[in-house]
Amino acid sequence: MVEKNTVFVSFFALAYNQNTDTQVFIKAVDSAGNITRAGFTKYLKKKRFKKDKIIIKDRFLEAKMPQFDLPDGEKAPDSLVAKFLKVNNQIRKENAARIKAITSKTEPAILWKGAFLRLANSKRMAGFADHRTYFHDGKKIDEQTHLGIDLAGYSHDKVTAANRGKVVFADKLGIYGQTVIIDHGFGLFSMYSHLSRVDVQLDQMVVKNEPIGLTGTTGMAGGDHLHFSMLIHDTFVNPVEWWDASWIKNNITSKITEIQSAMP
Ligand SMILES: [Zn+2]
């Protein structure tokens, strides 16, 4: 039984590669299995993302590739570039599947409050949904999309929780290296990668700005930086929006208070 005046909350997120004509609707199923669908007013803004060129040097491959294990029984790649391509594609896909599994469960409460924090005193090195073309020896070898924001400050810089939540992952994660994922409730997650040290444990509750580890170069990182992502379940969304108090008010909190104040 649902109590009278219960507010149901759901975040709707479009992936970077979904068009603005994507169908967005609410589907509700009652306990008898009756299904109702309803549309709602929405404003989807077109966004263009940057193109970036990544030069892969032998020195980088020599330093990074030995860290990665390919699945047992698989033939060893005959060059470092061949191994890089396996890591950048196969391991990337495995990592995405792992992230999908981790973010499929979430706390049924809004654990966070106010704007999410950005790594203090850091410079943005790469943006959300940058389309990356990889070159080696002047030849194009791969293409991928960068689904986070790279922030660089000091080496081994203190990384803190962007907002309150529960640690749902604190371990190595392939190309992302040592990673922490925090569940902020209702399917909203933040992710911190390439850490040199992790200072939190699975299932630990963290408050906003609580230290969770140090930046580093673990996984597929050339220099010391934090790769920061925000997700609605397994859909990567633009962290810039969650760093912005007005965006949060206009798109999230005002919608909830509007409904609450309209209730008898
Ligand atoms: Zn990154």
- CA 33 to chain CA centroid, Å, is 33
Confidence of residue 263 (pLDDT cuts 50, 70, 90): confident
What pTM value is reported for the model?
A: 0.94
Question: Ligand 1 centroid vs 117 CA: distance in angstroms?
Answer: 17
Q: Is the pLDDT of residue 169 over 80?
A: yes
Bridge partners for 132 per DSSP: 52, 144
Question: Ligand 1 centroid vs 4 CA: distance in angstroms?
Answer: 45
The phi, psi pair for 247, rounded to 5°, reads -60, -45
Query: Which residues have a beta carbon within 5 Å of ligand 1, which is an ion?
Result: 148, 150, 227
Cβ burial 218-247 (10 Å sphere, 16+ → b, else e): bbbbeebbbbbbbbbbbbbbbbeebbbeee
Question: Ligand 1 centroid vs 264 CA: distance in angstroms?
Answer: 47
Task: State residue 40's pLDDT score.
Answer: 86
Question: Ligand 1 centroid vs 39 CA: distance in angstroms?
Answer: 35
Question: Ligand 1 centroid vs 23 CA: distance in angstroms?
Answer: 30
Q: Is the pLDDT of residue 105 over 90?
A: yes
By percentage, how much of the chain surpasses pLDDT 90?
Answer: 83
Instruction: Quote the radius of gyration of the chain (alpha carbons, Å).
Output: 20
Task: State residue 239's pLDDT score.
Answer: 98
Question: Ligand 1 centroid vs 1 CA: distance in angstroms?
Answer: 45
pLDDT by residue (tens digit) across 10-50?
Answer: 899 999 999 988 889 999 999 999 999 999 888 888 889 99
Cross-sheet strand order for the sheet of 158-160: 158-160, 211-214, 197-198
